[in-house]
């Protein structure tokens, strides 16, 4: 009976100055039926996590082009855990070397997508994750 909608936070941390990629992903997720909370540029990890708490999202998707991924992703993970939100998927995209992707995945980050990836691949990944981890129509308590 419940009309459960998956909620995704699309955020752009760091100092680099354009969010075209993030906007494309946000629009693709909306078109796939997700409720997307879009926050714009230059978000700090603290702001991202505070938003994730208030918006009660299932997924945090970060677009990072600045090269600061090795600090930003772990920071977001740690802050989420502090808030008791360690069941939220953290995923994202950007220019991230293979080695780093491996390290981040070991640290608990979900799949990461390179600049050339088809957005539908990321959308499918997020949908599959939600269905497996959140179920359909299931409550979250």
99 in contact with another protein (CB under 8 A)? no
Own/partner pairs, 69-77, CB within 8 angstroms, 24+ separation: 69/94, 69/96, 69/100, 69/104, 70/100, 70/103, 70/104, 72/13, 72/14, 72/45, 73/104, 73/107, 73/109, 74/104, 74/107, 75/45, 76/13, 76/45, 76/48, 76/49, 77/107, 77/108, 77/109
In degrees rounded to 5, what are phi and psi of residue 66?
-80, -10
Identified binder of another protein from the candidate list 14, 22, 43, 94, rule CB under 8 A: 43
Least Cβ distance, residue 96 to another protein (angstroms): 24
Report the Cα 42 to chain-centroid distance in Å.
15
User: Measured from the CB atom, is 10 or 96 closer to another protein?
Assistant: 10
User: Measured from the CB atom, is 1 or 15 closer to another protein?
Assistant: 1
Identified binder of another protein from the candidate list 22, 26, 62, 64, rule CB under 8 A: 26
Q: How many amino acids of this chain bind another protein (CB under 8 A)?
A: 38
Question: Hey, how many other C-beta atoms are within 10 angstroms of the C-beta on 37?
Answer: 18
User: Measured from the CB atom, is 36 or 112 closer to another protein?
Assistant: 36
84 in contact with another protein (CB under 8 A)? yes
55 in contact with another protein (CB under 8 A)? yes
Residues forming contacts to another protein in the complex (CB under 8 A) are 1-5, 7, 26-27, 29-40, 42-44, 46-47, 50-51, 53-56, 83-85, 137, 139-141
């Amino acid at each position: 009976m419940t009309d459960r909608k998956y909620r995704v936070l699309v955020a752009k941390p760091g100092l680099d100055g354009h969010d075209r990629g993030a906007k494309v992903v946000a629009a693709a997720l909306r078109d796939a039926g997700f409720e997307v909370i879009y926050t714009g540029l230059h978000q700090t990890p603290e702001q991202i996590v505070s938003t994730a708490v208030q918006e009660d999202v299932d997924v945090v998707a970060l677009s990072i082009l600045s090269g600061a991924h090795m600090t930003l992703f772990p920071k977001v993970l740690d802050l989420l855990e502090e808030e008791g939100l360690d069941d939220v998927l953290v995923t994202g995209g950007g220019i991230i070397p293979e080695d780093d992707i491996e390290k981040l995945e070991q640290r608990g980050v979900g799949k990461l997508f390179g600049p050339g990836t088809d957005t539908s691949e990321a959308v499918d990944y997020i949908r599959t994750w939600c269905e497996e981890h959140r179920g359909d129509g299931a409550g979250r308590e």
